[in-house]
Every structure is written in C-alpha cells, then in structure tokens.
Amino acid sequence: MISEKMQDALNKQLNAELYSSYLYLSMSACFTSINLKGFANWMRVQAHEELAHAMKFYEYITERGGRVALLSVEEPPSEWASPLAAFEDAYRHEQKVTGLIHELVELAGAEHDHPTNIFLQWFVSEQVEEEASADEVVQKLKLIGDAGNGLFMIDRELSQRVPTTP
C-alpha cells in the first residue's frame, strides 16, 4: 500500500506529465500552422511520449492500491516567436520535470518507499534523454541562426522521428 503523501505527490506528477503532453501538442499545432511539418511531427511524438509517461504513473498508483486523482490540466501557451524559442521552452520544461522527478525520489527515500524509488529510477534516466533530445535541437537552431535553408534541413530531419513505446 502506498502512503497518502506519496499518492498525492504521484498524482501531481501524473498531472505534470499530462500538462507536458498538452504543451508539446500545442507546440505541434503552432508548427503545423506555419508549415513546419517536421517540427510539428517531433512535438507530436513528444506529446505521445509524455502521455505514455502519465499512464505509467496512473498504472503504478493503481498497482500500489492507491487512488488516481485526475486534476485539472493547465492550459499551455499556443504561440512562440520562433522555432528556437519553442525548443528553448521545451528544454526548460524538461529541466523543470527533471526537478519534479528528483523531488519524488527524495520523498520516496524519506518515506522509506523502496518500490516507488525503484519505479522512479526509470524516470530519472529518461529525463537525461529528454533534456539531451530537446537541447540537441536548440543547439542546431542556434548554429543555423537566420539561415532559412538550415531551418528546412532541420525540419526534414525532425520529420523522421517516430514514436517509441517507453
């Protein structure tokens, strides 16, 4: 059985993962509206991945005998000044999520909740990948600056991303 304090914290993280999915879906819609279909694809795949993360929390809470609480999901922004601005926001968002995961690990330790600590280790590793993936695009966009042809090359590259099952 999971403690009420841990259950509440995991439910908040479930909500944060749902927000992440909304955020990336909003970014995808923004990129679609300016005909950057590769960028839109990357964000759509990311939205799908974040939804899968939310479901991992959902399933874990129920497996431990807890009660899932579906909280309101905050409305994400819908416009960004540039592809770089959107990916910088994505990178900062992943850093924030990393902090939230680390807080959950600390709480699991304080609660002596070893199963939850083990469960969270997957997310600790996943966040390293999440930050690196967003930052890689940020760095490429910074390199090309205002070169439109570079933007379209990155757009083509990002169109190749396919969903993976976490």
pLDDT at 166: 64
For the chain, the distance separating the N- and C-terminal CA atoms, rounded to the nearest angstrom, is 25
**Taking every pair of C-alpha atoms in the chain, what is the biggest distance, in angstroms?**
56
pLDDT at 164: 81
pLDDT at 133: 97
Rounded to two decimals, what is the model's pTM? 0.95
All domains in the chain, ordered by first residue: 4-158 (1.20.1260.10)
pLDDT digit string (tens) for 100-157?
A: 999 999 999 999 999 999 999 999 999 999 999 999 999 999 999 988 899 999 999 9
pLDDT at 163: 87
Ramachandran assignment for 148, one of left (phi > 0), alpha (psi -120 to 50 degrees), beta (any other): alpha
